[in-house]
Structure 1
């Protein structure tokens, strides 16, 4: 059996879709016309991934506004002045702020998955936002008549429904995007915020059976937006031991962009739960240079010095366009990096005798 290999989620949107989004915002095309452009982008994305030999595909998040904000579509109890996330190059992203209760998801990933499965002939993976990320919507000074504990209870219910809908809808696996994990140590070096994130996400994960949790994974990275990160300067040693305390069967860990991958692998090997698989990042979406298959192969063989091959998989460090308006990486570069990951992983599988 070859090593498992999966993409994290997002692929840059094609020009036709980006133009359609702008035209819809300007009132020049209907929502139905925009929906057709989105579905065509999903179809073409899946077809290209399958043509590269990807054993598992995603919809490339072609229809999501971002990996983070898709559940907020259509909600009327949000204000724009929420938490600000700064990136190393100086740009920022700002979250909305919950202005009134109760909190409910405006949409879940189930419709995205149904569309993807219409076109895929291989298993489909579904990415979802972690509850911990959406917990940042609740303001520090509270919401009148809606205590934080009630908000968190509602958030856990909705996060569970999002994951369960994907599992029941036929997803091969469900990946929780947890980029805020590493960022939390920058916001609170004491680790208290990270501990609260872990506890909250485990409240969600513990609602699933041990068998179901083998299909649920956690993705961590230092952020990827406009070829910049928000927390690459945060030491992985503070994150990984706690990250592996999440009750999941798969962990997708950014590694290609790390300055000392051997050190990260030593930490991972020490703390990875015995029944979990580690997917190591072998391509870096923040680096415009396209990796070679040989580079990927060597990165996999390095990981195999620390963990048994049957507990290793490969992935990209992060999505290639987690926010829908990010065009810093071209669609062609993303597919070239994915090809290198698939071919390099296959070469490593051969060298490892799999």
Structure 2
């Protein structure tokens, strides 16, 4: 990407009301069979058009073809029983009914590759595709087979690598692994979490990213944030090891958060997707507020490595709010881009 400060989203965008219940996670599909396939592709085209018209530079599918950023991938694996559900604590924050690992996990066929190929045909812009990271996958399941979080994470890393290689071959420019669990299980992150992530991206020639945030703007996450005190220093635990890893880009939450901006210094040398849009509020940022966040980040990341982004996915937001936030992100980046080009003259 040659453009200075290229903008992108962290992941999901709201689905149209005719496809799924809006502002709801795990929302069931309103269509079935061939109509569902066509509806998903229509929604993907719509999400692409909304990003392009808002001026987003690196576009995505907006996760229009999946119900959830983790479980949709898991649904396509063997060894996981979705009928046999157990209640587990997700990221030490809230209880959820999840499927059970009952045998050896395997990827029977590609999961998102057809969707990625379809997206690639719709645009000449750089495209980014999000996959769940190994640690976040194991945190969204009950394991009655491996009985080891680490062992299961290594198994998932192999399957994710198979998928990622096929996505790259389908024309994806950036493959992003979503790892919100990196902000919670600090010992495991450093013991084996980053290592399993590197296994997932082994052999890839396209750019790779890891997205680590404080979650969607749902009550369980916003309540958790209230317990974190005046400074959120969770990134401090994983960043030193990530800085030494082979990952190209680190995506983090900055807008309306209590993350000290100087923590970005710990990943100096990496490209940084700086979250300059708060997904936990319906209030649409002004371009100047976005620009202010980006200016602060520039003290700790070189301009050619700064990628303005959203804090997290926007699936739970109204579409009109998400569209306004996309436009604000582009406009804020344009302000700082202009300032930087003026400074170079």
Q: Shared fold (TM-score greater than 0.5)?
A: yes
Q: How far 1:341 moved relative to its partner? A: 0.4
Q: CA RMSD in A?
A: 2.9
Correspondence for 1:346 among 330, 334, 345: 334
| 2:86 partner SS | coil
CA 1:202–1:16: 2 relative to 1, 3 Å: same
| 1:5 partner SS | coil
Show structure 2 runs of 5+ residues with no match: none
Q: How far 1:56 moved relative to its partner? A: 1.5
Correspondence for 1:311 among 305, 308, 328: 305
Q: How far 1:18 moved relative to its partner? A: 1.2
Q: Any conservation in 1 of the 2:129–2:174 contact (CA below 8 Å)?
A: yes
Cα displacement string for residues 321-342 of structure 1 (whole angstroms, at most 9, x for unaligned residues): 2xxxx4xx10110111011001
Distance 1:160 1:242 in 2: 21
Cα displacement string for residues 256-299 of structure 1 (whole angstroms, at most 9, x for unaligned residues): 1312x4x2x32221x2152x211111001012211000111111
Aligned length: 327
Show structure 1 runs of 5+ residues with no match: 186-190
TM-score, reference length from structure 2: 0.84
Matching residue of 2:113 = 110
| 2:171 partner SS | coil
Q: Any conservation in 1 of the 2:253–2:275 contact (CA below 8 Å)?
A: yes
Q: How far 1:46 moved relative to its partner? A: 0.7
Cα displacement string for residues 233-278 of structure 1 (whole angstroms, at most 9, x for unaligned residues): 263223333343442111111111312x4x2x32221x2152x211
Matching residue of 1:196 = 192
Q: How far 1:131 moved relative to its partner? A: 1.6
CA 1:272–1:287: 2 relative to 1, 3 Å: same
Distance 1:253 1:150 in 2: 27
CA 1:195–1:280: 2 relative to 1, 3 Å: same
Q: Any conservation in 2 of the 1:175–1:218 contact (CA below 8 Å)?
A: yes
Q: Which has the higher strand share?
A: 2
Cα displacement string for residues 21-80 of structure 1 (whole angstroms, at most 9, x for unaligned residues): 9xx969x85311111111111111111211112212111101111111122225563232
| 1:80 partner SS | strand
TM-score, reference length from structure 1: 0.82
